[in-house]
């Protein structure tokens, strides 16, 4: 498959849907809706929604029904970036080469834009206009999975431990693993699982997809850690080496760059292995996993 063309096509599909789902800038309160759209359309690669759609397709589902959940995952991801960038958190002025939300709209609106995006995600997945063709118990299971992975036992929990570990000299591998599987891994796993659930997967198939999601989620974050060291500022969209400068808990910091590279490859192998029982219908998931680990921007 032509991965580049596939990603471009799926990205455009997600962008168009997001544009339709998000509140308009011409609706009150203008500043809030402008701020929400600013960060959602700030050049994200749509990794989570694309994984969700690919997962749904892999298990034989109708990806049209998965579009709202895919967009919901991107809204949750975007809210987490807006809040992470705040002065009280990572205090970042730039993201993907653009000024961060609070630099443009001020801290208060940035906090509220994040809050509204998180809320909007749950509104979207439960919207009767889009939910009608899905099974209600299935949708409830998806909402519960997303909320579990995004909350205090998932993404938010990972962010807290990440922050509290910053600058500590004695971080061990277990802590870095906790941070990565929670802060980044949980939402990626949730995307893959939600896609499979919408596609009607259960039993062995759902278990395989879940294992794939966990491995890809961890591989993604280790690759990100490595990119922070090896990438150029232009490639990363913010200052290269900023993790090191901040004393962030990362794989390279704990085990060295070479071992971190091996670990990312091991996770990629595990993700591919998890899909063993599947044929060519899982090729998109396999290709996305490779792309996630080997990407340079």
Q: Which stretch binds a second copy (CB under 8 A): 148-156, 238-246, 252-260, 269-277?
A: 148-156
Residue 104 or 227 with smaller CB distance to a second copy: 104
Q: Which stretch binds a second copy (CB under 8 A): 51-59, 161-169, 192-200, 225-233?
A: 161-169
Question: Taking a C-beta distance cutoff of 8 angstroms, is the pair 282, 275 a contact?
Answer: yes
C-beta of 242: minimal distance to a second copy in Å?
17
Site for a second copy in 106-145 (CB under 8 A): 106-109, 111-112, 114-116, 118-120, 122-123, 126-128, 131, 136-137, 139-141, 143-144
Q: Which stretch binds a second copy (CB under 8 A): 60-68, 83-91, 263-271, 283-291?
A: 83-91
Integer CA distances (angstroms), 150 to 155, 181, 191, 214, in order? 5, 12, 11, 14
C-beta of 86: minimal distance to a second copy in Å?
7
x-or-dash string of contact with a second copy, 238-277, rule CB under 8 A:
----------------------------------------
Residue 14 or 112 with smaller CB distance to a second copy: 112
C-beta of 52: minimal distance to a second copy in Å?
18
Residue 71 as a binder of a second copy (CB under 8 A): the answer is no
What span, in angstroms and rounded, lies between the C-alpha atoms of 149 and 151? 6
Question: Taking a C-beta distance cutoff of 8 angstroms, is the pair 165, 171 a contact?
Answer: yes
Residue 33 as a binder of a second copy (CB under 8 A): the answer is yes
Token code pair at residue 36: 């929400």
Cα pseudo-dihedral 51, 239, 34, 67, rounded to 10: 0
C-beta of 169: minimal distance to a second copy in Å?
20
C-beta of 288: minimal distance to a second copy in Å?
26
Chain CA centroid to CA 254, Å: 23
**Cβ contacts of residue 285 below 8 Å, gap of 6+?**
51, 54, 55, 58, 192, 212, 275
Site for a second copy in 191-220 (CB under 8 A): none
Residue 37 or 238 with smaller CB distance to a second copy: 37
Q: Using CB under 8 A as the criterion, which residues of the chain lie in contact with a second copy when the complex forms?
A: 23, 27-29, 31-33, 36, 79, 83, 86, 88-89, 106-109, 111-112, 114-116, 118-120, 122-123, 126-128, 131, 136-137, 139-141, 143-144, 147-148, 150-153, 156-157, 159-161, 163-164, 178
């Amino acid at each position: 498959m032509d991965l580049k063309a596939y990603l471009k096509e799926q990205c455009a599909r997600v962008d168009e849907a997001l544009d339709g789902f998000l509140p308009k800038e011409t609706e009150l309160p203008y500043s809030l809706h402008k701020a929400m759209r600013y960060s959602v359309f700030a050049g994200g690669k749509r990794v989570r929604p694309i994984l969700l759609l690919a997962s749904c397709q892999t298990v034989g589902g109708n990806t049209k029904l998965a579009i709202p959940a895919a967009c919901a995952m991107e809204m949750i991801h975007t809210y987490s970036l807006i809040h992470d960038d705040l002065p009280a958190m990572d205090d970042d002025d730039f993201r993907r080469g653009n000024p961060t939300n609070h630099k443009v709209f001020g801290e208060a609106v940035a906090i509220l834009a994040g809050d509204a995006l998180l809320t909007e995600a749950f509104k979207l997945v439960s919207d009767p206009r889009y939910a009608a063709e899905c099974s209600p118990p299935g949708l409830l299971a998806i909402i519960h999975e997303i909320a579990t992975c995004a909350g205090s036992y998932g993404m938010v929990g990972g962010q807290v431990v990440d922050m509290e570990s910053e600058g500590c000299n004695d971080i061990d591998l277990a802590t870095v693993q906790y941070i990565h599987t929670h802060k980044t891994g949980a939402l990626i796993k949730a995307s893959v699982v939600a896609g499979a659930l919408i596609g009607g997967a259960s039993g062995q198939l759902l278990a395989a997809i879940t294992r794939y999601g966990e491995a890809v989620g961890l591989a993604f974050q280790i690759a990100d850690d490595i990119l922070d060291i090896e990438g150029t500022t232009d490639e990363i969209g913010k200052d290269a080496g900023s993790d090191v400068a901040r004393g962030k808990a990362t794989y390279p910091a704990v085990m060295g760059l070479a071992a971190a590279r091996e670990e990312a490859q091991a996770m990629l192998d595990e993700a591919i292995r998890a899909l063993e029982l599947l044929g060519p219908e899982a090729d998109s998931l396999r290709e996305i996993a490779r792309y996630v680990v080997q990407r340079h921007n």
